[in-house]
Amino acid sequence: MSSFDGKVVLVTGGAGGQGESHARRFIAEGAHVVITDIADDKGRALAESLGDKATYMHHDVSSEDEWKAVIDAIDKKHGKLDVLINNAGLYKPASIADTDYSSLRLTIDINQVGVFLGMKFSADLLAKSGSGSIINVSSLAGLRGFPNAIAYVGTKWAVRGMTKTAAAELAGNNIRVNSIHPGFIDTVMLEENDPSVNKEGQETTPLKRLGTPGEITDLVVFLASDQSSYITGAEVAIDGGLSV
């Protein structure tokens, strides 16, 4: 029997990319998966393709009301939540001079506020499981600076700090909270970069290649499982050695 049989997993930003990979794997492992996103057509199609154990909900992670609605729906349907994967994110590279307040605010609202709201509104339901796990998707950019990415870098450092605070605060309810820090991963997000940035990133990565969404999912599944039961407050780089 899979260790995720009967467990309930919420994946934000789950309609594509790394989130889609996570959703597919947890379904294969026997979990009930709630996929949330603002890409409704893709999200619904994905949930339908995954069968009865997958559910899709529209979800703007920067909205308190929409977080409440998602958590209430999970509570009514399942009565608990075992795993929260705060995966939704926004990346729009720009120099300091070219970053206007509205784009900075939007990045903060999605990448930082979205993670905060997820932890805030899911904590009680995670506590019902008796062994909840939160995985916050930060980035290599949450471990070091990058030019032309001040908004993204700032929010991913914030995710790292909030993770450690939440790990200390929620441990009393047996909820573990960890952050993961992917490097250059082969998803559509890389299309936001100038090709020269991706080329340099791959060349300077010690393993000399891009990571795959499946490799990120392997880490997420481990941190969600009982095999990582004594790991909380950790920041785990998964970047081919680029942060070394």
Local structure of residue 39 (DSSP, 8 states): -
Contact status, residue 119 vs residue 84, Cβ threshold 8 Å: yes
- State which amino acid sits at residue 131: S
Which of these is catalytic: 56, 91, 101, 152? 152
Distance CA 162, CA 140 (A): 16
Query: Under DSSP, is residue 236 helix (H, G, I), strand (E, B) or coil?
Result: strand
Q: Is 152 a catalytic residue?
A: yes
d(CA 142, CA 156): 4
Q: In what order do the strands lie in the sheet with 83-86?
A: 54-58, 32-37, 8-12, 83-86, 133-137, 176-182, 235-238
Report, as residue numbers or ranges, the catalytic residues. 152
